[in-house]
Structure 1
Amino acid sequence: MKPYTVQRSPFIVPTTDGKVIKEHFGLATDGNSNLSIAHMVAPPGWSEPFQTPQFDEYTFIIKGKKQFIIEDETIVLTEGESIKIEKNTRVQYSNPFSDVCEYIAICKPAFSMELVNRED
């Protein structure tokens, strides 16, 4: 067995909101529950419900802008900026802007629907 893994076929997460999610490492791709790394493309106008994940989430913006509502504070990140949001923090992610937002998301432990705690 080689001491490295090259990922050329990430898992494409099915979505209904126009967002493209390609998980390179994590539960859906290689069963890793400790960490997930995904390449995301969020279309203009995209948003998710508020959530209080049981994982730390790191986001690095490649292109465009992304809005974060963290507790009661609104933060907008642009290309080249990054953020770490601690687990058990209420947050909403969105792209209310006119351009696509492309970013990398890293979750520790790995993203799962059981740990994300999205609100209705």
Structure 2
Amino acid sequence: MKKYYIQKSPFIVPTTDGKLIEEHFGLASVISELSIARMIAPPKWSEPFQTPDFDEYTYIIKGKKQFNIDGKLVVLEAGESIKILKGTRVQYSNPFNKECEYIAICLPAFSMDLVNREA
């Protein structure tokens, strides 16, 4: 039995907001207990506040990304990372003029049932 899996064709998650999501492992691609996705958030992108039932780790590859964490604004730049604990109210955005490329890891794996987005 092979003891590894090389992901060569990540699942492209359909979006309506211009954001690219390439899920390498998770519930939409190679079923896994965690999810790993490469993302590109376009300039001026944002999503609603959410209070996920998973820990989320983010590593910025290029550009900048803004986090509104329980009302505190945090901006990360390329080479920086953050862990946001499950149960934390957070909003992700890229209010800047350049796209932001980053890696997101969720444990347990990302699921719309666990993200708890606000209307």
TM-score bin, normalised by smaller chain: over 0.9
Does 2:17 align with 1:17? yes
Counterpart code for 1:27: L
**How many residue pairs get matched?**
119
Give structure 1 stretches of 5+ with no counterpart.
none
> 2:113 aligns to what SS in structure 1?
helix
Distance 2:46 2:106 in 1: 19
- SS of equivalent to 1:74: strand
TM-score (norm 1): 0.98
> What is the Cα deviation at residue 31 of structure 1?
2.0
CA distance in 2, matches of 1:109, 1:4: 20
- Secondary structure, aligned partner of 2:28: helix
Q: Which residue of 2 aligns with 1:29?
A: 29
Q: Distance in 1 between matches of 2:49 and 2:28?
A: 23
Q: Which runs of 4+ in 1 moved over 3 A?
A: none
RMSD: 0.5
Distance in 2 of aligned mates of 1:46 and 1:7: 28
Identity of aligned residues (%): 73
How far is 1:69 from its partner?
0.2
Is 1:5 equivalent to 2:5 in the alignment? yes
Paired with 1:36 and 1:9, the residues of 2 have a C-alpha distance of: 15
CA distance in structure 1 between the partners assigned to 2:83 and 2:96 by the alignment: 21
